[in-house]
Amino acid sequence: MLTQESPRFAGASVNSGGDRNTPNSSQKRPIPLSDAADRFLNQLAIDLRLGITEMWQLPPSLAQLVWFFYYDGYDSRQGEIDKLNFECDRLYGLAFNKLPLPSQNSITFEELEERRATIYGGATN
C-alpha cells in the first residue's frame, strides 16, 4: 500500500490505494459503534453545524477527523467554485462595465485632429 504524508496534517498519512490487502467493496463493512456512541456523534455533528459546539472543544483525534472531511469536501468542489467565480466575474463585467455610448455631440477622430492642429499649429501624423 502506498501512503504519503498529508500536507495539511502533520503525521497523518493518506492511502493512495493499490494494496492487495485492501478489501474490495463486497468485503467492506461499517465500523461498529454502540448506540450511545452513534447518538453522541450525531448530536455532536448537529451541535457543530449550529455553532453550539466549537472545534476547539473537540478532542484532537475527532477534530482531525472533522478537518479531513472538511478539506476533502472543499478540495472536491474547488474546481466548480473557481469556474462559477470566473463566470460571475465575466457576467458582472458584461452587465456593468460597458463603455458609455457616444453622445450625439461627439466628434470624429479626423475632426479632433484638425482642432489639435489648429490649436497647437502644425500638421498631425
pLDDT tens-digit map of 71-80: 888 888 998 9
pLDDT at 1: 37
Report which of residues 63 and 97 the model is more confident about: 63
CB 20 within 8 Å of CB 32: no
Instruction: State whether residue 3 is helix, strand or coil.
Output: strand
pLDDT at 73: 87
| Residue-averaged pLDDT of the chain | 78
* Lookup: cell for 111: 475632426
The DSSP result for 45-76, as a single string, is: HHHHHHTSS-GGGS-HHHHHHHHHHHHHHHHH
- How far apart CA 54 and CA 14 sit, in angstroms, is 26
Report which of residues 84 and 97 the model is more confident about: 84
Report the predicted TM-score, pTM, of the whole model to 2 decimal places: 0.41
- Relative to beta strand 13-15, strand 3-5 is antiparallel
pLDDT digits (tens, 9 = 90+) for 26-73: 778 888 989 999 999 999 999 999 999 999 999 898 999 989 988 888
Overall average pLDDT of the 104-112 stretch: 78
- Return the residue matching grid coordinates 460597458: 98
Chain-centre distance for alpha carbon 68? 16
